[in-house]
Structure formats: C-alpha cells, structure tokens
Amino acid sequence: MRFVVALTGLSLLACGAPCQAQSVAEFYKGKSINLAIGFSAGGGYDLYARHLARHMGKHIPGNPTIVPQNMPGAGSLRAANFIYTAAPKDGTAFGLFARTTGINPLLESGATFDSTKFSWLGSVSDDVSICMTWHTTSIKTWQDFITKPSALGGEGPSSEPDVFARLYRNVFNAPIKLVSGYPGTNEIMLAMERGEVDGLCGISWSTIKTRHTQLLRDKKINLVSQASFKKVPEIGDVPL
C-alpha cells in the first residue's frame, strides 16, 4: 500500500479576519510563516519539510519566509496538538506530520485535535513503507521476521514505526518487541547501529534511498518487507 505524507495546516492562505481589510499579498508581505515539523532533524520528514520551506514562499502572494521548526514528540503528535490548540490561526503557522496523523485520535489518548477540522493542504510524497533490520541481526528475510524474535524501534503509539510493528505482530503473529520513545527514525537508525534494536518498520523507501544510500550500498541493512499495492520495481525481490 502506498501512503501519503500529510502536509497540514489550520489556516494557511485563508487568514480570515486579519486579511479582510487587505489583500493576501499585503498581509503576507514581510511576514514569516512557521512550519512545525513533527520529527527531529535529519530524517525523511525533516528533509521534505526543509525542501518545501525553501521554495513554498515564492508561490504565496507577498512571498513570506517559511521558517522550519522541529517539534518532535510521539511520532509528530506533539506538533499536531500544537497546531490545533496553540498555534496562531491567522495563516502564519502550519505543520508537517506523520501520514498516520489522521487516525491519531483513534489510537492515542494524548491526541487533543479533531482530524476532520484540520485544513489538509496537500502532500509532498506518495511513498512505500519498508521494514528493515540491521545486518548483524539474525532477521534477514521475511520468514525470519515472522518467526524469530526481534526488537523494533518506535516513536509513539500512533507513529508509523509503532503502527506497522503492531500490524505485523497482530496480523502475522510476528514475535516483535516494540521499543518506543525515539524522537525520529534518525535516532532509531542510530539505535540499530548501537545494537539497541534490531530494526525499524514504517520508514519510507525514498528516505532510505536519499538518506541511507551508503547503508544500502554496503549492505548494512536488510529490507524484509514493503507495504504497497504493488511492488516497487527497483526492490522487486523484497516481499510485498
């Protein structure tokens, strides 16, 4: 199954009362728009957000500056709660969250937002989720993954790594121990290298290709499964 990276905001480009007496260009001229990134620096979401921030202001009347701000916590739940409850509602704040954010209120008691009341602005990616393990573990194939005990890194109850780990554990009876609480996939990758966990699920294939190319080339990671409606041709040997 392919998943969409959610770019979410409450009022960007629809600034309401402050804009009624002036044009959108006049309102945004000389202003900054804060972009809350629900993950730590260095991961795939952070890369997407910073690339977006570099170019998006050119396409908004008044050409405001987009200021990225990392706000990791509980798989982007902290950032989603902030945008919904505390961020300005005048068009000067929006956020980039996990693609599972929409179902957070169903999975996580700490969600203080109503997903239906967000203004979902768009998507910056259409991607495939991967489960992978570190090369020194005994988990190297799909069969290993569903039969041998493993420890997988997570970020929070409703984050992608946690959701996918629980999915494989509950649907396929994979003997997975979930070690949650890491700020982002970058930290989980470091935990894999240190031997704290065996692997990670729910990381995007595009992130692996762009951020962890050397690990792929040096065969430091094993790709054990891909979640998609159809296989990605370049990793066609990885089980769907």
Q: Is the dihedral of CA 210, 213, 216, 221 positive or negative?
A: negative
CA distance 163 to 35: 25
- Dihedral, CA atoms, 194, 78, 168, 220, nearest 10 degrees? -30
Q: The whole model's pTM is what?
A: 0.72
Give the architecture-level CATH label for domain 2-125.
Answer: 3-Layer(aba) Sandwich (3.40)
Tens-level pLDDT at each residue, the chain (240 residues):
443 444 555 444 445 555 566 899 999 999 999 999 988 888 878 888 999 999 999 999 999 999 999 998 877 888 999 999 999 988 899 999 887 788 778 776 688 889 888 888 888 777 889 999 999 999 999 999 999 999 999 988 778 899 899 999 999 999 999 999 998 888 999 999 999 999 999 998 988 988 889 999 999 999 999 988 788 888 888 887
Q: Give me the CATH code for the 127-235 domain, please.
A: 3.40.190.10
Residues of the chain with CATH 3.40.190.10: 127-235
Kindly give the pairing relationship between strand 199-204 and strand 176-179: unpaired
On whether the CB atoms of residues 24 and 64 are closer than 8 A, the answer is: no
Q: For the segment 151-175, what is each residue's pLDDT rounded down to a tens digit?
A: 999 988 778 899 899 999 999 999 9
> What CA–CA distance (Å, rounded) separates 116 from 155?
24
pLDDT given at position 10: 47
**DSSP string covering 76-136:** GHHHHHHHHHTS-SSSSEEEE--TTGGGHHHH-TT--S-GGGSEEEEEEEEEEEEEEEETT
